[in-house]
Chains A and B, each alone.
Chain A
Amino acid sequence: MPNEPLFSIGIDLGTTNSVLAYVSLKDEEAQVQRLAIPQCVAPSTIEARTSLPSFAYLAPEAESESGEYDLPWLTQPRCIVGELARKKSADTPMRTVVAAKSWLCHHRVDRREPILPWNAPEELPKLSPVAASTQYLNHLVAAWEAAHPEAPIQDQQVVLTVPASFDASARELTREAAQQAGIPESMILLEEPQAALYAWLSDLGEKWRKRLTVDDIVLVCDIGGGTTDFTLIRVAEEDGNLELRRIAVGRHLLVGGDNMDLALSHFVAQQFQEKKVKLDPWQSVSLWHSCRFAKETLLGSEAPPSHPISVLGRGSRLIGGTVSLDLQQEDAVKMILDGFFPACSATAKPQRRRGSGFQEVGLPFEADPAITKHLASFLAIHGEEDAPIQPTHLLLNGGVFKSSSLRERLLAVLGNWSADGAEPENLTAAEDLDHAVARGAAYYGLAKEGKAIRIRGGTARAYYVGVETAGLAIPGAPRPLRAVCVVPHGMEEGTEVTVPSEEFGLIVGEPTQFRFFSSAIRKDDQPGQSLAQWGEEELEETDPLEATLTASPEWEDDYVPVRFETHLTELGQLELWCVSTISDERWKLEFSVREEDET
Chain B
Amino acid sequence: MGKIGLAFRLFFRTLTDQEFANKAQKVADGKFTLEPPRSETPEPPAEPPPPKPAAKKKPMAKEPSRSEALTLMATLQREARFIDFLQESLDAYSDAQVKAAVLEIHRDCRSVVERLFAIRPLLEIEEGEPYEIEAGYDTERIRVTGNVMGEPPYKGTLFHHGWEATKCELPQWQGNTKSANVLAAAEVEV
Q: With A45-B173, A72-B59 as given contacts, are A320 and B92 in contact (CB-CB < 8 Å)?
A: yes
Q: Are B90 and A319 in contact (CB under 8 A)?
A: yes
In the complex formed, the residue of A with least CB distance to B52 is A36
CB distance from A67 to the nearest CB of B (A): 8
Q: With A72-B59, A148-B54 as given contacts, are A317 and B100 in contact (CB-CB < 8 Å)?
A: no
B131-185 CB contacts (< 8 Å) to partner A: 169-175, 179, 185
In the complex formed, the residue of A with least CB distance to B62 is A70
Q: Are A319 and B54 in contact (CB under 8 A)?
A: no
The answer to whether A41 has its CB under 8 Å from any CB of chain B is yes
Q: Are A42 and B169 in contact (CB under 8 A)?
A: no
CB distance from B90 to the nearest CB of A (A): 7
In the complex formed, the residue of B with least CB distance to A310 is B100
A104-159 CB contacts (< 8 Å) to partner B: 143, 146-148
Q: Are B56 and A148 in contact (CB under 8 A)?
A: yes
Interchain CA distance A580-B87 in the complex, whole Å: 79
As a 0/1 sequence over residues 108 to 120 of chain B, the CB contacts with chain A under 8 angstroms (1 = contact) are 0000000100000
Q: How many residue pairs at the A-B interface have CB separations less than 8 Å? A: 95
The answer to whether B98 has its CB under 8 Å from any CB of chain A is yes
In the complex formed, the residue of A with least CB distance to B99 is A308
In the complex formed, the residue of A with least CB distance to B94 is A319
Q: With A45-B172, A46-B174 as given contacts, are A319 and B85 in contact (CB-CB < 8 Å)?
A: yes
Q: How large is the interface on B (under 10, 10 to 19, 20 to 34, 35 or more residues)?
A: 35 or more
Query: Contact partner of A72 among B56, B58, B169, B175, CB < 8 A?
Result: B58
Chain A residues with CB under 8 Å of B185's CB are: 43
Chain A residues with CB under 8 Å of B84's CB are: 312, 316, 318
Q: With A33-B53, A312-B101, A322-B100 as given contacts, are A44 and B173 in contact (CB-CB < 8 Å)?
A: yes
The answer to whether A48 has its CB under 8 Å from any CB of chain B is yes
Interchain CA distance A319-B179 in the complex, whole Å: 27
Q: Which of A33, A47, A49 has the most CB of B within 10 A?
A: A47
Query: Contact partner of B88 among A48, A68, A319, CB < 8 A?
Result: A319
The answer to whether B60 has its CB under 8 Å from any CB of chain A is yes
Interchain CA distance A44-B66 in the complex, whole Å: 11
Q: Are A46 and B172 in contact (CB under 8 A)?
A: yes
Interchain CA distance A34-B52 in the complex, whole Å: 10
A16-54 CB contacts (< 8 Å) to partner B: 33-34, 36, 38, 41-49
Q: Are B101 and A42 in contact (CB under 8 A)?
A: no
Q: Are A310 and B103 in contact (CB under 8 A)?
A: yes
The answer to whether B78 has its CB under 8 Å from any CB of chain A is yes
The answer to whether B24 has its CB under 8 Å from any CB of chain A is no
Query: Contact partner of A45 among B71, B81, B101, B105, CB < 8 A?
Result: B71
Query: Contact partner of B54 among A75, A147, A312, A322, CB < 8 A?
Result: A147
Interchain CA distance A49-B58 in the complex, whole Å: 13
Interchain CA distance A48-B87 in the complex, whole Å: 29
Interchain CA distance A43-B172 in the complex, whole Å: 11
CB distance from B146 to the nearest CB of A (A): 39
In the complex formed, the residue of B with least CB distance to A46 is B172
Q: With A318-B101, A322-B100 as given contacts, are A47 and B58 in contact (CB-CB < 8 Å)?
A: no
The answer to whether B76 has its CB under 8 Å from any CB of chain A is no
Chain A residues with CB under 8 Å of B170's CB are: 47
Query: Contact partner of B101 among A143, A316, A319, CB < 8 A?
Result: A319
Interchain CA distance A322-B107 in the complex, whole Å: 15
B52-97 CB contacts (< 8 Å) to partner A: 53-54, 56, 58-61, 71, 74-75, 78, 81, 84-85, 87-88, 90, 92-93, 97
Interchain CA distance A49-B170 in the complex, whole Å: 11
Query: Contact partner of B171 among A34, A41, A318, A319, CB < 8 A?
Result: A41
Q: With A310-B100, A310-B103, A318-B81 as given contacts, are A70 and B92 in contact (CB-CB < 8 Å)?
A: no
Interchain CA distance A357-B97 in the complex, whole Å: 50
As a 0/1 sequence over residues 30 to 56 of chain B, the CB contacts with chain A under 8 angstroms (1 = contact) are 000000000000000000000001101
The answer to whether B126 has its CB under 8 Å from any CB of chain A is no
Chain B residues with CB under 8 Å of A33's CB are: 53-54
The answer to whether B127 has its CB under 8 Å from any CB of chain A is no
Q: Are B100 and A320 in contact (CB under 8 A)?
A: no
Interchain CA distance A33-B101 in the complex, whole Å: 37
The answer to whether A293 has its CB under 8 Å from any CB of chain B is yes
The answer to whether A324 has its CB under 8 Å from any CB of chain B is yes
Q: List 19 A-B contacts (CB under 8 A).
A: A33-B53, A41-B78, A41-B171, A42-B78, A42-B171, A45-B171, A45-B175, A47-B75, A47-B170, A47-B171, A75-B61, A148-B56, A290-B104, A308-B99, A308-B103, A310-B100, A310-B104, A312-B101, A320-B93
Q: Which 10 A-B pairs have the closest CB atoms?
A: A44-B175, A47-B171, A324-B100, A33-B53, A318-B84, A310-B100, A322-B101, A319-B101, A46-B172, A45-B171
Chain A positions within 8 Å of B, measured between CB atoms, are 33-34, 36, 38, 41-49, 67-68, 70, 72, 75, 143, 146-148, 290, 293, 308, 310, 312, 316-320, 322, 324
